[in-house]
Structure 1
């Protein structure tokens, strides 16, 4: 305060005064951060045994190295090559340990899941913007286990089969949409994904991208991705500074409160509407109806927590599946020979007279390989899957402090040539001997036999993996059966090239691109139109 008193006692112009304050505030912030963080480093000699890794800058660590999300995957791969299968970085005041081989992931996230299943403190993202209710950010403990149990019971293998009629119905509508508005394929894939997870969760359809509900959902997703990008907000990089006045760190509490008001309004609107419909006997069968009838309050889950539990499924299932579908289309444009092989398999197994069905899946190993290869080649986010340690630990002579973020470094694992020869190539044939689902491979005793790591590992593995796998299969198989996907020809007669670049943000969303989508024949188009007309007439019952 002395510095501010001195300024006030000196006759300065308003402009100079403002400049002085702008200079002094960051200095005070850095000094405060120094006294909060550095003594802990000095006092703990075990930190000399941290895993190797790139040197960072004072205070911010490697934050600047990872500031451009487009470059994170390249850094993650390069650092694995340079430092080995486990390496260390620091982002702000938080330790990051990158688990970069199947063995390390198995040894720590699976075999030591009791201490590698938490989340790092997130004063903005979890404490304020989510009121501590978002399961994704929730630390490991009794509350998380209670909510996770409900999610698992309603999304497990047996339960997921009940949702197949939803995916069948929506995939037929997607085919119709692609015939009517092929240039809108990116939004069509997003609508499909959001409608499926909304029907599964709440029993509500989203029939159009212009539906107000999907606009609210994607507005929430946009807030979510901006808030959770590594280094996006200083307070979540320096959580120990949460007790300081918020103006020193960008008025983060006020920002978080605004996000909470918007997100909680949507989540509570949906939850309370479903409760009223269930009480009135008009609610459709869905995750939330079953969840509500089990009386989550008995497990200590209040209305706000319940609303965020169900809303979390919408967040997790909308953009991740939509992103994967749009990456699939991109992969087909970049690898037309793969599309040709997949269509040859579909023609041989399914034929030209009907759509692919659930029963065809086991006879379509190459199509199954396409799906697995999309998830290997372009996992759903740019950073990896972050857990956090709830205790100090030692591994292979390295010290891993309590509270470290343990990152499942899928970029490095998926591009390891010892596991996947020629890893940069998109080659579904590498999976021809992988006949099981991704959910089955998650529990493989030998981690090197896993098909990919896109659904995570340990106790925080994606709970919706069974629903996601079915959604990807029925959509991708039918699109490949019914359409040719080609690069567009511009008005100048030249091919419009596509790239592997991703859009800004946390998810691996491809940069906007164009695609020429046309039915493979008049007969294919006729069958797709007929299938949707019949589905629309019968309506959706599940």
Structure 2
């Protein structure tokens, strides 16, 4: 049941608001005001103001009208939207103990079953255990260095796939990112074609992005709908959730059992899962390991896929940027080999290009909802316990107060020039805030960088010409918690015979 097809059941449920109001006879009167926001309706509050698609656009409009903090209320649940990095840092970083909880998400967390994964866990012991598990493996750039060889080898295979079938770019990106994460999380080497875990994981991440999009399912606004039986007219969301839950449970369990079987046979390669299971674990610990490994996959794939696909879109649209980055790589790396992580510090423009990709096409436009653990007063406004807090990351990375001409794709904004300081580092924003910052940020950053450097070294990326007409891709991010560029066509060809040789060569990674 979505907002796009409201049924008589929805209206029946809205009448149930009366039951809620009976329980709320006495309304707490606060001398301290809530943050400003659109005026709600009697009984239902701002339920009609919740955007159905691309919520970051509506949130940006609210920011223009009401300032950096916007407040709405839906059936007694307070929702706070943040429209500046400064405010997000003050609240979610500086007061992280207050702003690090997670709300209960009825559709994705309870019905689909994501509640045991790290992004959904409430702040507490289980959350800290999973973060500790992931930090051991990918918690810093230095820790990620152990996996540089895997990243380089899988990205080289990506180049070969793109060379063979350039019209399947997005599929190649998904395959490669999945292959890298599964090697790290479970020691699993994916098959070149029709890999069962890759197919399963792609469905799980797509379902998860759809299930968590703000305003997509009415049950997230009216949680009592979770009690409606699946056969009831209009309760199609229950049937969707049951299907998605089965896919999720298979993705969580199947790779975990694969590692256990390999360990029993004495042939398990080193991975997050095998390391954590070494020496035996209790049932509770086994559960935590299983979901930690899945959380690594869930947090490190869909977002990275979106960013790499956005890179190819940017290179299609901005050939001058591509040429400058290629000139830098040619000068530093030379024609005889592919770039490696050892070259990263010597490629400042390429580094700036990666930053601009992350800023220009924001992967998580509204972040992931935080929940307030206790009453707070911020900037003279009352923020009640239990409020949902949504950072409008899209606007933060397109805020003209922070980025000059934000609609322009310009990597130079991140380079010091003529005594002028670089503009604000986007990676401090796009990966979230406080104790909920993405634990896979170093993995995602490494994957995006090596894909960018290797692809630029050997490919020319340009617009497709059909029937004598040059096709310009549309820049239109798709809805979803993890937003992807709309599918587009581009031409991808080897830069030279030497580049072709580098793609086709066998390497000993």
Shared fold (TM-score, shorter chain, > 0.5):
yes
Over 3 Å counting, the alpha-carbon distance change for 1:64 and 1:290 in structure 2 is farther
Cα separation, 2, equivalents of 1:38 and 1:448: 49
Following TM superposition, by how much is the alpha carbon of 1:308 offset from its aligned partner in structure 2, in angstroms?
2.7
* Residue deviations 1:25-45 (CA, integer Å, cap 9, x gap): 545422222331586496022
* Residue deviations 1:323-377 (CA, integer Å, cap 9, x gap): 1000011111222111111111112211222211112111111110111111111
Structure 2 counterpart of 1:287, from 272, 297, 300: 272
Over 3 Å counting, the alpha-carbon distance change for 1:42 and 1:250 in structure 2 is farther
Q: How does 1:505-520 map to 2 (within 5 A)?
A: 505-520=480-495
Cα separation, 2, equivalents of 1:48 and 1:238: 27
Larger Rg: 1
Aligned to 1:186: 170
What RMSD, in angstroms, separates the aligned Cα atoms of the two structures? 2.6
CA contact (8 A) 2:187 2:270 kept: yes
Aligned to 2:4: none
TM-score, reference length from structure 2: 0.90
Q: Which runs of 5+ in 1 are unaligned?
A: 1-21, 435-446
Cα separation, 2, equivalents of 1:67 and 1:180: 42
CA contact (8 A) 1:117 1:140 kept: yes
Aligned to 2:478: 503
Cα separation, 1, equivalents of 2:78 and 2:184: 37
Aligned to 1:217: 201
Over 3 Å counting, the alpha-carbon distance change for 1:342 and 1:47 in structure 2 is farther
Aligned to 1:113: 96
* Residue deviations 1:440-470 (CA, integer Å, cap 9, x gap): xxxxxxx966655111110011111111111
Cα separation, 1, equivalents of 2:202 and 2:31: 42
CA contact (8 A) 1:485 1:518 kept: yes
1:270 aligns with 2:255: yes
TM-score, reference length from structure 1: 0.85
Over 3 Å counting, the alpha-carbon distance change for 1:59 and 1:272 in structure 2 is farther
* Residue deviations 1:66-106 (CA, integer Å, cap 9, x gap): 54423x23222222222111112345653221222222111
Cα separation, 1, equivalents of 2:171 and 2:295: 21
CA contact (8 A) 1:123 1:239 kept: yes
Moved more, 251-260 or 85-94: 251-260
Q: How does 1:85-164 map to 2 (within 5 A)?
A: 85-90=68-73, 94-130=77-113, 132-157=115-140, 158-164=142-148
- 2:493 counterpart SS class: strand
1:328 aligns with 2:311: yes
- 1:73 counterpart SS class: helix
Moved more, 318-327 or 202-211: 202-211
CA contact (8 A) 1:482 1:519 kept: yes
Following TM superposition, by how much is the alpha carbon of 1:61 offset from its aligned partner in structure 2, in angstroms?
4.9
Aligned to 2:149: 165
CA contact (8 A) 1:190 1:323 kept: no
- 1:415 counterpart SS class: coil
Cα separation, 2, equivalents of 1:94 and 1:306: 34
1:484 aligns with 2:469: no
Cα separation, 2, equivalents of 1:525 and 1:241: 57
